[in-house]
Structure 1
């Protein structure tokens, strides 16, 4: 690996971007195989063949890069990873320079506070609950908390000078901002998920994160959240506690959003232009009553950049659209949209369409998907894929136009976690 090349790249790109490029290089060389993709077609997870994994272990042992002792520790003791069956106290017993550890993954360990105190140079920390000792980690950049119970997010986290990625809980748990202090300072967060928003005070705290690029939040309140001030935001997921009833004019979204997920908002289909006119929106997921009503009439000049559309658990019955309303759409997913009569036949004329997934919808929707597939095939689109999953059929899933996936033995890895680890490997070695 050319150290000088990495240094040149780091001058113009973030370390996360450099790490992602190197992972993609391994994928392009077939050393890694993509097993799952995201809605924007980027890699979600990948596999590594047993033979390649064995080779990696052999080289690692020959170069004494890794040391195995119930848990995984690097040669220079800069990375420590444990699962639920391991204990941090045992790991510490074999560490001679714990103060140099930069990565700590320790789920469900009661001694994590001790580990944090003797690892002051941590950059990546993944644990189960908040601990006051985290505030001492002035170089921490990535913090992941799996909340089993509802917890308040202490304000000192947002004020940590180098923290850029904060992931707490999920869409079920309620991680709220602690609002004890009277004033808040600007922070460097780029990722924040999953946080509970309920009032103007929470919105004030969000305004202190002008560099946010990804936000996942649950919202409860009598008004829609105005996020137009987050000019750097690229990805947004909003889950509402209850259907909104009020003035839709205050529903303002940043113009630079590329990926949007809405759940349980209850907007009328007539207000779709609030989303459809976002100029660079590429991925849209509408889930669990995000929009309400029987008829959706798409309009000209909407969704001109949209590549992925997913509708889940909506009560729509009639969908009227034209092919020029989704001119670059590549993938359509319908799931539990059981009242919908059919997919608009005009989708047959979308030249970029690559895949349709229909899961647990009406038989008429399945039939319309089959018709679109046949017309796409007539137009020469032999690679068009159709997946139908239905409780009415003996076969739960059948695919058309999809190549069989090799069943060779392999090991699965989630892309984001490995990308972060690559990031800190580069940060340490170079």
Structure 2
């Protein structure tokens, strides 16, 4: 197992034990962010402080040497006066959590920091480059920075053990300037930089690199050779300038790539690559302005599960799929689009589970034998699944029955039981149906109409049962 797979297994184990809670899920249903309960957090912090593993630095606590430093103050507390004489291998991680802090000068070379492995300064807004002493921390595995200055003078090549590098600009109009040899780091596994940072693929094969956001590709540059990064799993490409379809042809050699993002800058027209990675599962397009007929090419990707179309990725008022495809597609997100008419049926999306749409109005003109309907047409609304929709109708039914339960418990239960079978059956027709026929209603009117019919049916049945009960009681007495 890779380091990332081991870490994910540990996280899953903590989630299964309810020690860590899921905070947010991605569109495909995977864990996107987590949190811990306040009480669990208190216990963890207390035990870490007691064992001298953690030091929280804020306005109320003086800094001291510990394995982890959690900085939560607006001033720079790591000075030679405070840490200059402590044990050299004491501090392994420095995490800065104070937001909106500006720094122009600081020093990071003290005996206690020589063995530093984690340095997260992503919330610190550096106004003048970065302290050059960072590159002397040769044991760093993780480095996160935020600056608006040039980083050309930083000798990143000295960080031979660096595995994760995150460098961003905290002012959008001030793009970063990074040296071109960053991808040459031997142990680098994950690189996250701003879109407009020019990065070229390394000349030598880098088998450790798994994540690359973003790689800038311009028309004046030479064709990128993705054979140099054969084990990439996630890739974001920012395009500037007109590119021929064959320009990114070497993408087909990324056999392990699962996530691919395209974003376009100053380009008159964007062309889809002539070939995609064979095992691609998640594709995101933004500002590509493609015609909807190009969607047939994407539909032929054999393992695509998630498709995100953002900010006019496709243009045109009508999408009419002409080929069958999207065999494994489970989720679609379409945001900021002028799409109004979608001629689609379940044959085009045989296993679709989630549809998230941000258009105000959308009309489906699909065939009636294999219909594809939309339940919600709102901003990022996750469609309810089959079970949740049926459960909602049944729960509404039970609420109506409760009003009459005191008068005739036995009769109402029999009515409800008989009705539940019919309501579940009818809800399947209104809801998703089976896996081969996706039917997702057309708006809240469908749900409201179903509720009204449920209440009307129950009221009629319960009233009839009560009348029969009263007649029987009259005869007996």
TM-score normalised per structure 1: 0.71
Q: Which runs of 5+ in 1 are unaligned?
A: 1-12, 366-370, 391-430
Deviation string 1:156-184 (CA, Å, 9 cap, x unpaired) is 21111111111002x5xx111369xxx82
Task: Tell which structure's C-alpha radius of gyration is larger.
Answer: 2
Does 2:392 match 1:378?
Answer: no
In the other structure, the counterpart of 1:122 is 140
Greater mean alpha carbon deviation, residues 19-28 or residues 110-119 = 110-119
Question: Given the alignment of the two structures, is residue 195 of structure 1 paired with residue 212 of structure 2, yes or no?
Answer: no
Q: Which residue number in structure 2 is paired with residue 185 of structure 1?
A: 204
Mapped to 1, the partners of 2:217 and 2:190 lie a distance apart of: 18
What's the offset of the Cα at 1:263?
1.3
Q: What whole-Å deviation, never above 9, does each CA across 1:50-71 have from its counterpart, x for those lacking one?
A: 1111111121122222122348
Structure 1 counterpart of 2:185, from 160, 182, 194: 160
Q: Secondary structure at the match of 1:323?
A: coil
* Gap change, CA 1:306 and 1:219, over 3 Å in 2: same
The partner residue of 2:293 within 270, 281, 284 is: 270
Instruction: Tell me which residue corresponds to 2:308.
Output: 285
Q: 1:78 aligns with which of 92, 97, 101?
A: 92
Distance 2:336 2:288 in 1: 13
**1:51/1:160 CA distance change after superposition, 3 Å:** same
CA-to-aligned-CA distance 1:269-317 (integer Å, 9 cap, x gap):
1221210010000110112221222221235541110111001112222
Deviant stretches of 4+, over 6 Å? 86-91, 345-351, 371-377, 380-384
Structure 1 counterpart of 2:112? 97
Q: CA RMSD in A?
A: 4.2
Q: Give SS of 2:252's match.
A: coil
* Structure ranking higher in strand proportion: 1
| TM-score normalised over the length of structure 2 | 0.65
Aligned 8 A contact 1:88 1:115 in 2: no
Which secondary structure does the structure 1 equivalent of 2:155 belong to? helix
In the superposition, relative to structure 1, how do residues 88 and 150 fare at CA in structure 2: closer, same or farther (>3 Å)? Answer: closer
Does the CA contact (< 8 Å) of 2:103 and 2:125 recur in 1? Answer: no
Match of 1:403 in 2: none
Q: 1:14 aligns with which of 2, 6, 9?
A: 2
The answer on whether the counterparts of 1:117 and 1:133 sit within 8 Å (CA) in structure 2 is yes
SS across alignment from 2:181:
helix
Checking the alignment, whether the CA contact within 8 Å between 1:359 and 1:389 is kept in structure 2 is: no
1:358: Cα distance to partner? 2.0
Provide the C-alpha distance between the structure 2 equivalents of 1:343 and 1:195, rounded to a whole number of angstroms.
Answer: 40
Three-state SS of the structure 1 residue aligned to 2:224 is: helix
| 8 Å CA contact retained: 2:119, 2:142 | yes
Q: What are the Cα deviations for residues 395-420 of structure 1, in whole angstroms up to 9, with x where unaligned?
A: xxxxxxxxxxxxxxxxxxxxxxxxxx
SS in 2 for 1:132: coil
Query: Partner residue of 1:310?
Result: 333
Aligned length: 361
Native 8 Å contact 1:288 1:313 kept in 2: yes
After superposing the two structures, state which structure 1 stretch, 284-293 or 61-70, moved more.
61-70
Cα shift at 1:17: 1.1
